[in-house]
Amino acid sequence: MMQICDSYSQKHSLFNAMNRFIGAVNNMDQTVMVPSLLRDVPLLLDELDSGGGCGEGDPQLSPGDAGAFFSRRDMYSHYLLLKSIRNDIEWGVLQQGAEEASRKKDKLSGDISRGLPEAAVEEEDLEKQFHYHLSGLHTVLSKLTRKANVLTNRYKQEIGFSNWGH
């Protein structure tokens, strides 16, 4: 079996970012045995910023601090969201309706008529769009991976296994 070295350039590849995210969500899924325990448990902004560790450097959880909530949703909602995104990455998403696709195509056709040859504009736009979306996707996957790790560690705290799995 061939072993892959995770060099600096590979660390920032989209493929590795997707694998890290899927691994974090799989770990979360295996750790969270009773997802309903996550209902009404807020995910705090401080936890997300700290990287989600369960060690001594973690901020104290203060349920009364309404300004620190990551969002109005509870950890159960985030759990379902992360699993849904993992499934979309692994199995693909449903194709958009034909009507919506034709509207987007018409909009792009209107934008192309700037004076440059259509093929050159389309090629330039595709390259820019690719790099823009690749960068954005990598950033989003990194944030989602951190969120999955935070949720896993918070679940361990809630059920009393703060050093479980370390």
| pLDDT at residue 74, as a whole number | 82
In this predicted model, which residue has the larger pLDDT, 83 or 6?
83
Burial class of residue 93 (count of CB atoms within 10 Å of its CB; 0-12, 13-18, 19+): exposed
Cα gap 110→55, rounded to integer Å: 55
Q: What number is the average pLDDT over the span 155-165? A: 75
Q: What is the pLDDT of residues 30-71, one digit of tens each?
A: 999 999 989 888 877 666 655 544 433 333 334 444 333 444
Q: What is the pLDDT of residues 84-113, one digit of tens each?
A: 999 999 998 775 554 555 555 555 555 555
List the one residue out of 65, 67, 27 whose CA is nearest residue 151: 27
Query: With 80 as the cut, is the pLDDT of residue 157 above it?
Result: yes
Reported pTM:
0.62
Query: With 50 as the cut, is the pLDDT of residue 127 above it?
Result: yes
What CA–CA distances, in Å, run from 88 to 18, 35, 95, 125, 143?
A: 11, 20, 12, 26, 17
List the one residue out of 82, 85, 68 whose CA is nearest residue 38: 82
69-74 and 42-44: which strand pairing? antiparallel
| pLDDT at residue 51, as a whole number | 55
| pLDDT at residue 12, as a whole number | 79
Query: At which residue do the structure tokens 């807020």 appear?
Result: 42
Whether 158 contacts 54, CB under 8 Å = no
- CB atoms under 10 Å from CB of 54, counted, come to 18
